[in-house]
Amino acid sequence: MGFARACSVALVGVDGVVVEVQADLEPGVAAFTLVGLPDKTLVESRDRVRAAVVNSGAAWPQKKLTVGLSPASVPKAGAGFDLAVAIAVLGAAEVVDPGAIADLVLIGELGLDGRVRPVRGILPAVLAAAEAGYRQVVVPQQCAAEAALVPDVSVLGVRSLRQLIAVLTDGEVPEEDPAGPPGRPDPMLAGLLVPGAGLGTGLAPGRPGGDCADFPDLADVTGQHTARRALEVAAAGGHHLFLSGPPGAGKTMMAERLPWILPPLTRQDSVEVTAVHSVAGILPPGEPLVSRPPYCAPHHSATMQSLVGGGTGVPRPGAVSLAHRGVLFLDEAAEFHSRALDALRQPLESGHVVIARAAGVVRLPARFLMVLAANPCPCGRHTMHGAGCECPPSVVRRYQARLSGPLLDRVDLRIEVEPVTRSDLLGQGGRGESSEVVAGRVREARERAAARFAGTPWRLNSEVPGQELRTRWQVAPGALAQAERELERGLLTARGLDRVLRVAWTVADLRGRERPEALDVAVALELRTGIARGAMSLTGTGT
């Protein structure tokens, strides 16, 4: 009788649970039993593992074989357990030393020829192993760079089961030929990218200051001075933005340029974003670490599950998680289903989304900057003078009511985008500031906020509770008088007053002031309510 155990990791969302893979050999009729709540893909690993072991030159034990995955109550899914199952079986058969693999975490799919294929979710899996105290991890060679992002973990990348057996038995490690013909993409990477899983998630092809000339530059936006200033305030403080205006005014154009005025991700944020993208299957091969804020723009036909996450079995990350620490752009927001939009209210407040399904409860990160863009009416010409809008008032009201009050109450900045004038379109007003210039001011404003919030769990003005801003960080005397009058008149809710205060702090940070003054609050009110008060033209914020 032989017994051996190895370890692997089961992913539930972006959280991992270390699973002990136990193999037991007993005399009897040759059979292979796999227990421990496996899914269909994992059940099929019995045939993959048997073929891979035989084709790797090792003998398959002709005994009664039972492989258990513990803890048995945790659902296990995917082909990432193949490598751990194969090594545990070989340890029970004493082909490799059972003591050498007891604390070894193995993640990878096996081909029938014994090659180790990469799988999604390597980074969160290795993070879970490290948090559980494991320090030796074996992964597919194509995923070694991603696994190496976790500190204090020894990572071994292998291309085949033969190579791993040689390493564990102190034998000569064989060389593996490339999987495909020279000059073609590696077919082993096919399982890392899921077609259609990105929901419009991606980064622009270049970056400000780089050699690529086709990155989206804010200088390409003609006119729209107020909207550009609002874009800068949104980037500096992490405030949600609503752009309303006729078609062709530049709403989508500005939203696509917002990620390029955001600062690069910190190391911790990069690891969080990379973990989500790895699980979702949208992490580009050869780029193990996402360093720029992501940009996600789902189509208006997206379902509630595709926005917040879900699906059959264990819930998968949705658009709000794919946009974590980046931008979620909802173009034609009024065309989205109202239930899908209202489902965003919880992650907008908490920065995460909790999805409960029969297969389990998953908590996914979802701290994003949301940009809504919508036309004022179905034809889009309601606010254009002399444009011939024929939408009845009842149709206009019904169209605008698709964006619920509770959702808009969570949006800090609301801007009426005006049609582009002929002089702006012909460049008579001159080009606006570039993304690089605006990004410099945004970075300085965020540094001021970070210094103010040092030692607290917050980094951006949009994250700080209103109670803390009112009591811990005082504004200038009398600065809130106008906002308090708006609250008494019912034009602002209590949540709205807190959000005006947050925006006022961001405006003050952009102006380099120690605390908000009455003019900063007036700018925040103008951006919040969309009612022109003349304050925007008096500040030095923006172009």
Full 3-state SS string of 44-66: CHHHHHHHHHHHCCCCCCCCEEE
Of 240, 231, 230, 244, nearest in space to 402 by CA? 244
Query: Does 89 have pLDDT greater than 70?
Result: yes
Question: Predicted confidence band at 490 (pLDDT cuts at 50, 70, 90)?
Answer: confident
Residue range 316-334: mean pLDDT, rounded: 94
Most confident of 215-229, 274-288, 334-348: 334-348
Query: Does 215 have pLDDT greater than 50?
Result: yes
Query: Does 152 have pLDDT greater than 70?
Result: yes
Residue range 201-219: mean pLDDT, rounded: 57
Predicted pLDDT at 248? 85
Q: What is the pTM of this model?
A: 0.89
137 touches 126 (CB < 8 A) = yes
Predicted pLDDT at 386? 62
Mean pLDDT of the chain: 88
Half-sphere exposure (Cβ direction) of 286: Cα atoms closer than 13 Å: 3
Predicted pLDDT at 210? 41
Predicted pLDDT at 63? 93
Question: Predicted confidence band at 204 (pLDDT cuts at 50, 70, 90)?
Answer: very low
Predicted pLDDT at 208? 40
Give the type of residue at 270. S
CA 390 to chain centre: 41
Query: Does 511 have pLDDT greater than 70?
Result: yes
Residue range 444-460: mean pLDDT, rounded: 94
Q: What is the pLDDT of residues 108-148, one digit of tens each?
A: 999 999 999 999 999 999 999 999 999 999 999 999 999 99
Separation of first and last alpha carbons in the chain: 77
Question: Predicted confidence band at 16 (pLDDT cuts at 50, 70, 90)?
Answer: very high
Predicted pLDDT at 448? 95
Name the 3-class secondary structure at 7: strand
Question: Predicted confidence band at 518 (pLDDT cuts at 50, 70, 90)?
Answer: very high
Predicted pLDDT at 265? 94
Q: Which residue has the higher pLDDT, 220 or 91?
A: 91
Question: Predicted confidence band at 200 (pLDDT cuts at 50, 70, 90)?
Answer: low
Residue range 217-235: mean pLDDT, rounded: 90
CA 480/CA 305 separation, integer angstroms? 40
Question: Predicted confidence band at 474 (pLDDT cuts at 50, 70, 90)?
Answer: confident
Query: Does 43 have pLDDT greater than 80?
Result: yes
Query: Does 106 have pLDDT greater than 90?
Result: yes
Of 181, 187, 179, 261, nearest in space to 220 by CA? 261
Query: Does 185 have pLDDT greater than 60?
Result: yes
CA 74/CA 2 separation, integer angstroms? 26
Question: Predicted confidence band at 211 (pLDDT cuts at 50, 70, 90)?
Answer: very low
Query: Does 213 have pLDDT greater than 50?
Result: no
State the DSSP H helix or E strand holding residue 274, giving kind and residue range, or none if neither.
helix 267-280
Predicted pLDDT at 491? 82
Predicted pLDDT at 107? 97
Give the CA dihedral 143, 149, 151, 156, nearest 10 degrees: 20
CA 148/CA 513 separation, integer angstroms? 42
Instruction: Among 49-63, 109-123, 268-282, 301-315, name the one with the lowest average pLDDT.
Output: 301-315
| Residue for token pair 């009511």 | 401
Would residue 13 be called left, alpha or beta, if left means φ above 0 and alpha means ψ between -120 and 50 degrees?
A: left
Q: Which residue has the higher pLDDT, 125 or 206?
A: 125
Long-range contacts of 141-145, Cβ-Cβ distance < 8 Å, separation of 24 or more: 141/116, 142/118, 142/186, 142/188, 142/189, 142/192, 142/285, 143/107, 143/108, 143/118, 143/119, 145/288
By the 10 Å C-beta count (0-12 exposed, 13-18 middle, 19+ buried), 42 is classed as buried
Query: Does 359 have pLDDT greater than 70?
Result: no
For residue 10, what are the β-bridge partners?
A: 17
Query: Does 411 have pLDDT greater than 80?
Result: yes
Residue range 236-265: mean pLDDT, rounded: 93
CB atoms within 10 A of CB 473: 15
Predicted pLDDT at 214? 56
| Residue for token pair 């009664």 | 64
Predicted pLDDT at 203? 52
CB atoms within 10 A of CB 116: 31
Residue range 427-438: mean pLDDT, rounded: 78
